[in-house]
Amino acid sequence: MVLRRLSLLNYKNLDQVDFQFDAHVNCFVGKNGVGKTNALDSIYALAFGKSYFNPITTQNIRHGSDFFVIDGKFDFAKQEERIILSVKKGQKKVIKRNGKTYQRLADFVGHIPLVIISPSDRDLITEGSEVRRKFLDGIISQSNNNYLQHLLNYNKVLGQRNALLKFFAANRTFNQNNLDVYDEQLVQYGSYIFEKRQDFLTTYLPMLKKRYIDISGNEGEEIGLFYKSQIKEGDFLQLIKNSLQEDLKKQYTTVGIHKDDLRFKLNEYPIKKFGSQGQQKSFLIALKFAQYDFLSDLRGIKPILLLDDIFDKLDENRVTQIISMIMRDDLGQLFISDTHAERTENVVKANTSNYKMIHLK
């Protein structure tokens, strides 16, 4: 999977630009605010149909314009692919692949395997369970469209059930038969999601442990990743039944796979509380490289890798180690953003001669 050319029109602060890329390493360099991260984000948007940093699509239209267009040309399995994402205010976003328009974003997600590493990934450790569920669901959805469809269906039914609970409270009424319809659907979709999350983590955890050692260089540290869920095999429906009075009181569904979480551990202790900054950063980067390994093994295609402002959050020695690991493992096409062109080029050219510097002003 190689992105050969990228054209942007009115995307965030980039008015009209055209990039041609090296098949291996590409470095966006320039001062803060010139659009380095936005250029990386546009590549992400081509893969997922939305921005990594701001999923509210219309807010990514350049100020003073009423539309944006992202146009990318890829070499995909020895064939050329053209992906176009366009958005106009007041209209539905349009995604085209080789001239074919996708009616549903869910049918497109996963076609372009891609992994991004960004300073904002720290939210995976510091924020609530929703951030970690999105991370988990994002990886599985890239590799399993059926999972994504079950997830969309579950969230739709969850919204309908919550609306019904609010209706009961507002009108001082109750209808068990109506509630049963939603309960059965939640169990149907949720049980599948629960099973696939478990299966994924069984495969993913050994990859994560290996990458953590690669990045930290410390084999004496034992990391863990634990799936925390209210449900167990076969008991989801009973759990919903038991929570009925609490749901009616709070007017929303208090149990289910939408409450699941991932627990990050270091030597059996929560990494959020007991991990140093360096250990937390190594853990986060290992999470993303394990994601890369999982997608690569499953798809047989090397994903595109985006490294946003990595020098800002890591010391130069650790960045050099990561770049060296990328080159050693031949991870495919890489995009980097950084404020210091000379620093970036020195690290990159120490590992490969196949790279391109892209200066933004």
CATH number of the domain bearing residue 222:
1.20.1050.90
Instruction: Specify whether the CB–CB gap between 76 and 113 falls below 8 A.
Output: no
At residue 6, what is the residue type?
A: L
Domain boundary residue among 253, 283, 298? 298
State yes or no: pLDDT of 317 exceeds 80.
no
Same domain for 180 and 287: yes
Q: In what side-by-side order are the strands of the sheet with 355-359?
A: 114-117, 304-308, 334-338, 25-29, 355-359
At residue 38, what is the residue type?
A: N
Q: Which pLDDT band holds residue 313 (cuts at 50, 70, 90)?
A: low
Distance CA 35, CA 145 (A): 32
Of the two residues 78 and 154, the one the predictor is more confident about is 154
Same domain for 35 and 156: no
Same domain for 194 and 177: yes
Distance CA 102, CA 323 (A): 36
Contacts of 321 (CB under 8 A, 6+ apart): 215, 217
Q: What residue numbers bound the domain in which 276 lies? A: 122-298
Residue matched to tokens 């930290």: 216
CATH number of the domain bearing residue 107:
3.40.50.300
The secondary structure element, H or E, covering residue 87 is strand 79-88
Handedness of CA 123, 132, 302, 7 (dihedral sign): negative
Same domain for 332 and 213: no
Distance CA 137, CA 145 (A): 11
Distance CA 198, CA 35 (A): 39
Of the two residues 316 and 116, the one the predictor is more confident about is 116
Contacts of 36 (CB under 8 A, 6+ apart): 28, 29, 30, 308, 309, 337, 338, 339, 360
For 88-110, write each residue's pLDDT tens digit: 999 999 999 999 999 888 888 88
The secondary structure element, H or E, covering residue 139 is helix 129-143
What region does 325 belong to: left with phi over 0, alpha with psi -120 to 50, or beta?
A: alpha
Q: Which pLDDT band holds residue 320 (cuts at 50, 70, 90)?
A: confident
Same domain for 262 and 188: yes
**10 Å Cβ neighbour count for 336?**
28
CA atoms within 13 A on the CB side of 231: 28
Same domain for 353 and 252: no
pLDDT computed for residue 234 by the predictor: 63
Same domain for 218 and 330: no
Domain boundary residue among 254, 274, 298? 298
Same domain for 194 and 336: no
For 131, the token pair is 């951030």
pLDDT computed for residue 89 by the predictor: 94
Same domain for 244 and 284: yes
**10 Å Cβ neighbour count for 258?**
18
Distance CA 178, CA 170 (A): 16
Handedness of CA 46, 51, 52, 56 (dihedral sign): negative
Instruction: Specify whether the CB–CB gap between 154 and 189 falls below 8 A.
Output: yes
For 228-250, write each residue's pLDDT tens digit: 999 876 689 999 999 999 999 99
Same domain for 286 and 193: yes
Q: What is the mean pLDDT of the chain?
A: 92
Q: 161, 221, 166: which is closest to 186 by C-alpha? A: 161
How many distinct structural domains can be found in the chain? 2
Lowest mean pLDDT among 129-133, 204-208, 274-278, 312-316: 312-316
Domain boundary residue among 253, 277, 298? 298
Same domain for 321 and 287: no
Same domain for 231 and 319: no
Any idea of the CA torsion for 264, 123, 213, 354, to the nearest 10 degrees? 150
